[in-house]
Structure formats: structure tokens, C-alpha cells
Amino acid sequence: MDHHVSRRRVLAATGATGAFAALRPMLVPTEPAGAQDTAAYPDSVASGDPRPDGSVIWTRVAPTSADGEVPLTWQVRPASGGAAVATGAVTAFAASNWCVSVRVDGLDPDRWYSFTFDGPSGLSPEGRLRTAPAPGSSPTHLRFAFGSCQQRSSPYVAMAAIEAENVDFFLHLGDYIYVSDDGTITLDDYRDVWQRFHSDPALTRLRSRVPLVAMWDDGEFYNGIDRTGDPARLAAAKRAFFEFQPVLPTDGVDQAYRAFSWGDLAHLPIIDVRSYRDPAVEATDNETPEGGVVMEPDRTTLGAPQKAWLKEQLSGSSAAWKLVGTGYNVLAVRLTDRDTPERRATEPDLVLNAGDYYPNEAFDDYQAERRELLQFLVDECVEDVVFVAGHTHVFLGGRLYPDYDDAASPLAAHEFVAGSLTADPPPEGVVKSLLGSDVSRAEATDILRTVEAAGLDINKHLDYINIVEQGYGLVDVTPDEVHVQFRVIDTFAEGSVATTAWEYRIARGTTPSACPAAGSGPDTADPEGMPDSPSSMPQSNGNGNGNGNGNGNGNGNGNGTATATATATATATATATATATLPAAVYRPPQPGAPPARPSPGRTAPRRRCLPALPAEARSAKQPLPRPTPPSARARGCRVGRGRVAGANAVRIAADLGGHRWRI
């Protein structure tokens, strides 16, 4: 067997885009359930869904009697100590698997508290909860982490790293557990899986120390779940989710989508992309009859009621930032791009955004609905929307346009997708599955970096791809900007420390680019004055003041500069704030004769009055545009340069992975 494999060999065997296509997220199968912890509180405690006047607190107890009930009391105290400020009693029942979720009210806004449960077996571990700032208040900083996909294939080292980030909450976007598609059917089956995952002390410690905002993906149900699934099985999975997470259904039954507010700084709708969606389409080429189904205008991943709710949450919010949590990505990820300027100019019946798409179960399966949602943001002048997502096991950062093949299409929003919290097969395992050859980790990583670069060449709206590393996203929100860092960590090494692989700054007023507010802002060529290190940002210290309450369920670092230059006929240079060793998101200069350039990442577009909505026929017009010259520098995780191959055919590779069903 050839033990030396180069990037050239991978690309020659598969084509750059073929290798990109083959690198679908792969995970090791979950192991069978083992013996459970027999402590009095086997899953520890947790808090979640912070509101201005309270939160949800949660625990699970070990049964102490045969009558199916365990009486508990609970108490909440200021984090600084002192007498209890809220107390109550609750009963854990066998019928609820001994889990309890308590909605705590009457607390002061913008405060940290501690809480405990007490019962026949003694006092629970101490947990922490956070209340949100009061409605109408003007907080200067919000910090949260987001992530998803935590197989038990490697240690939960990311959990300790998240706790150390001093976040206000952790937004978990699903695949919190992974079940057997064929073997997890009943409520008891689902409960067993939840208990197995909670046997990891790193996970239960994070839950006790950091408030959780949780949404499900398909891992909590079975692979590829949609609205057409077996009703009994879906009901069992949802019930187990609400039993084990500090979340209360917003309709009293099983509705999980909901929204929170952080004063007038941020509004956070969290959407459910699984429960109401039409079945996914296996075909990935939208120019074929099978793949073209994704273009149907009535196809939905949100369902009509939730979509109307989301539009209202976004257009009706006066918060500075609208931050949407979604189980999977809105960003388009193509393996081949066949919507070329030449075809747009000569083929009136060309399928919009024609190409072959990454088979990932994402908004790529619902392209008309994605375009509708993004066009809504533009037409309704909904400013400063940022999506954060999970599911893909790939870090992605990019810009959202109603028509990402038309350079005149306005920038509607940004999106950031976190990689998995735990490991897929390591890079050398991925390359071996593609070629059957053994390589070192360094060689495999170098190969995969080239594949990432091929993906960026195909998808001009993407600014970052990282298919190698694991970790989470870290978001700092201030009145002036959103600063996102992709934090990566070696999930095979206990005690690993997270580092920043890439970061991106969005100045307020950047989106939608066709519809900013009236007035004037900073010059588009001068991003000076943007904070570039944590020392220049207010830090969340867990203290707050003020009185009042709210009701309802509507509730980095970096310093220095990096310059990236790319050349077309002329040369354009863009400067953006970044860690000194990390190139910033790269501006893509247009070629001569192209439509006006879109604002570069991290820059503020001129602020002007909201433009009237364009007619539908004008919005959907296929305007030809030249392809921008690829950038010359990238952040760690995607390198363009030696070994880059452009224009290769997308070749599907079916990887034989030991007979297992690999899944995301």
C-alpha cells in the first residue's frame, strides 16, 4: 500500500470538488448503554431559558420509595450569597422519569443566582442561573457560546472550555444525543440514551454552571426526522427532550421554537427546522427532475405558522441585533456551480442558482423558502440579522443574499455555523476512507485544507470553511458590532485549551445593504475605531442591578490588523481587524464592468433611506456577472495557494466505513 498520499493525488483521483463532495460529516457509531450513576442526583442540575424575572431550573433524582413519588424543595439565592430569595416545592414522579423542571419567577433582572434542590437523599449539587436584562434596558454586552453535535466518540473537553469563556448562556442547537435509528423507538429507549449521555461529568458540570438554551435537531429523534415520521415515536422523543432539558414547551405540549430578549441589545428567536419540515430530497442536483423538487415554492422546513411567527419576531423587534438560532445552515453550499454568467445571459429557463449541492439536510433542501425569508429581510428593511447554526460538523462563515449568483442582490444577513463539539474520525481517518491509504495527521490535514479551498472557490458567498477541527462559536454582542470567533479544540486530548481559528466582525448597519437606516455612518474604506480585543469590550461579570420583572416566553480576543490583497485587472486592498496571526475575512474585488461591489465583511455601508421593494420579477431577474478573482489569503482552516485546483468535476465518492451507518 502506498503510504505517501499528496494533495495532488487526492485531487487527481476525485477532483477538488469531488473531494469536497466526499467529505460529508462522518461519526463513529454510538456504543450501547452501560450502567447508570446511582447518586441521589444522577444527572446533576441545570438551568435554562433566562428571562428578565427568572429562569427554568431542572434536576433528576434517584427514586427513594416504591410509591412513584419523591418530594423535593428548591431554593434560589444571590450568587454572592445570602438568604434565599425564592423557594418552592415540587414532586418528582416515576411517570416523568424522576425529572423536574421548575419555572422560577420574581427574580431581579440581569443577575446571577445560585440554586439547589433538597430531598430525602439530601442536597443537590449547586447550580447557577442567569436572568436577562429588563425590557427597555440598554445592556452594553452579551456573550454566548453556540454549538451542536456531541457524540461520545471523544472526550467532552469542549465543555470545560465553554465554561471558561464566561458566557451568559450556551445556545445548544441540537444533536445533544444520538440515538440508534432502528433501536430507539419507545419513551424508555430515549430516556436510556439521555441518561447515558448525562453520565459524562464534563457535560453535567457545564449544565450546572452555564445556563442552557436548547433546541433539538435530528439526533434527539432519529436520522433525518421530518413531519411525516411515526407520531408515537416523535411524541416519545419530544417528551424525553422536555423531561431532560431545562426547557418548557411554549404551547404547553410540544412546541420548542421560542424567543428571548436581552434588553434592547438583542432579540433571539430560536427556530425548529425539524418538526414541520417536508421530507428531505436525496438528489442534490437542482437541474434534475428529482433534485429540482427543492425549488418548489411550497416546500417548507419551518411550516407556515412558525414562518409567520419568525417574520413577526424579526420585523417587529426594535432590538439593535436580531440573532436567529437554527438547527441547520441557511447558507448555500454547492459542490458545483452551474449558474454562470454565460448561462444566465443565454438560457432564459435556467434554474436559479443551478448546481449540485452538499448533501447535508439544510436550507439547500428548501431553496424557495430560503429566498423568501432573505427577500423578506430586504423588503421589510429588517436590519442587523445574524444567523447561528450547527448540524454540519463543519465550520462555515458567510454572507446571505436572496440570489447569491447575482452581484446586484442585496446582502440580507450573515451566518456562522459551528463545527461539532466532539470528534468525527480524525483527518487521517477521513483521508483513508477516501483513498484507502495511510497518511500522517499532518499530511491528511494539508490535503483537507486544499479541499476546503476548493469549496471556497465554488461558493463565493462563503468566507470560511473548516472541515478538520472541532469546537464551538463564541459571540460578543455590543450596540456597535457583533464579533464571532470560531473556537477550536483538540477533542482527543484531555485538558485541551480552545484557540481562535477565525473571527469575523459585523458593524451595525451593514445589513440589509440595499436598505440601511437614514443618516450617515463611518466611511466604507475605514473600519478604524472598531474594538479589536476583549479589553476594549465590556465584559459580562454576572452582576446587574435594577428592579422590575418581565413575563412570557418572548423571552477573542484579537488584536492587530491583517491585510488581504487580491488582484483582478486592478488591485484592491481591504483591511479588517483580526488576531495578528489570523488573516481576516477577505474582500473579493470585482472585475471591471461588474455591478457595484457588495460591502466587505466588517465594514459599514453608507447609511441611507430604506429603498422601496422591487417587483418580484425584477428581484428574480438573472443578471450575468463575472466571477471575482479568488482571494490570496485565508484564515486558518482554509488555505488557497499551492495545490489549488479549479473547475474540477464533482465526483461522488461512496466511502466504505466499516459497514457502519455514519450520520450527522
Query: What are the tens digits of pLDDT across the range 28-51?
Result: 333 433 333 348 999 999 999 999
Q: Which domains does the chain have, with CATH numbers?
A: 7-34+135-619 (3.60.21.70), 51-130 (2.60.40.380)
Cell 430530497 belongs to residue: 281
Nearest residue to 480 via CA among 505, 461, 445: 505
- What pLDDT does residue 599 have? 36
pLDDT > 70 in the chain, percent: 72
Q: Identify the band that residue 537 occupies on the pLDDT scale cut at 50, 70 and 90.
A: very low
DSSP-based three-state secondary structure for 95: helix
Most confident of 77-91, 420-434, 609-623: 77-91
Report how far apart the first and last C-alpha atoms of the chain are (Å, whole number): 31
Rg, Å, the chain Cα set: 24
- What pLDDT does residue 66 have? 82
Which residue type occupies 262? Answer: W
Q: Identify the band that residue 552 occupies on the pLDDT scale cut at 50, 70 and 90.
A: very low
Dihedrals phi, psi of 47, to nearest 5 degrees: -135, 160
pLDDT for 574-604, tens place per residue?
223 322 233 333 222 223 333 333 333 333 3
Q: How far apart are CA 652 and CA 15, in angstroms?
A: 10
pLDDT for 107-116, tens place per residue?
999 999 999 9
CB neighbour list of residue 163: distance below 8 Å, 6 or more residues apart: 205, 206, 209, 210
Nearest residue to 46 via CA among 176, 149, 238: 176
pLDDT > 90 in the chain, percent: 64
**To 5 degrees, how large is the angle CA 556–CA 559–CA 560?**
150
Q: Identify the band that residue 228 occupies on the pLDDT scale cut at 50, 70 and 90.
A: very high
- What pLDDT does residue 19 have? 54
- What pLDDT does residue 21 have? 54
Q: Which residue has the higher pLDDT, 395 or 427?
A: 395
State the CB neighbour count (10 A cutoff) for residue 144.
26
- Cell numbers at 604, concatenated: 459599514
Residue 531 has pLDDT above 80, yes or no: no
- What pLDDT does residue 431 have? 85
Which residue type occupies 139? Answer: P
State the CB neighbour count (10 A cutoff) for residue 437.
17
The enclosing H or E element of 236 equals: helix 231-244
Q: Mean pLDDT over residues 67-92, rounded? A: 97
Q: Identify the band that residue 184 occupies on the pLDDT scale cut at 50, 70 and 90.
A: confident
Bridge partners for 72 per DSSP: 90
b/e burial code for range 562-599 (CB count within 10 A of at least 16 → b): bebebebeeebebbbbbbeebbbbbbbbbeeebeeebb
Cell 454552571 belongs to residue: 209
CB 414 within 8 A of CB 483: no
**To 5 degrees, how large is the angle CA 618–CA 622–CA 625?**
120
- Cell numbers at 6, concatenated: 499528496
CB 175 within 8 A of CB 150: yes
Torsion sign (Cα): 215, 497, 395, 29? negative
Q: Which residue has the higher pLDDT, 16 or 246?
A: 246
Residue 357 has pLDDT above 90, yes or no: yes
Bridge partners for 408 per DSSP: none
Torsion sign (Cα): 584, 585, 591, 594? negative
Most confident of 13-17, 507-511, 593-597, 602-606: 507-511
- What pLDDT does residue 181 have? 85
- What pLDDT does residue 391 have? 96
